[in-house]
Amino acid sequence: MRRAVFPGSFDPITLGHYDIIERGLTLFDEVILAIGVNADKKYMFSLEERKQFIEEAFKGEPRIKVMTYKGLTVDFCKKQNAQFILRGLRNPGDFEFEKAIAHTNRKMSEIETVFLLTSSGKSYISSSIVRDVIRNGGDVSGLVPDTVKVKQNE
C-alpha cells in the first residue's frame, strides 16, 4: 500500500489544501491528513474544529484518514507505515522552504517527499490570508471548503 502523510496545521483547511489532497489520492492508496500540534503556536481554530472541518470535507472518502500528532513528521510517518510525505507548492518561496525540510527529513529517514504544484487558480490561497480575511469580516467562501464554519464578529 502506498501511504502518504500530508502534514500541516490546517488553520483552517483551504481550497489549496483540498486541491493537493484530491490530486494526491490519484497517486497514493491512502492519504493521512496529519494535523501537527505545536504548543508554541497560537491557532485561530481549535484542534477539534480543524479536525472536524477536514473530516466533514472528506466524509465518504475511505482513503483519507485524519489524525493529530506532536513531534517530528518523519517519526509520525514511521508509526503510520507511510512511505511518503505529500506537500503542496504555491510559489518559489514555498519550494525553497520545503526543499530544506525534505532534505532534512530524507537525511533522518528513508521517507520520500512528493511535491505537487497547487492548481493555478488556487495558488494564491494560504491559511494566513484566510485568517486575515476572517479577522476582518470578509467572505471566505471561495477560499475554503464549505465545511469550514466561520464565527463572525469574534
Which residues are part of the catalytic machinery? Answer: 17, 41, 90, 127
> What is the phi/psi pair of residue 89, to 5°?
-120, 125
- CB of 77 closer than 8 Å to CB of 111: yes
Burial of 4 (0-12, 13-18, 19+ CB in 10 A): buried
Residue ranges of E strands in the chain: 3-8, 30-36, 64-69, 84-89, 112-117
| Chain CA centroid to CA 138, Å | 23
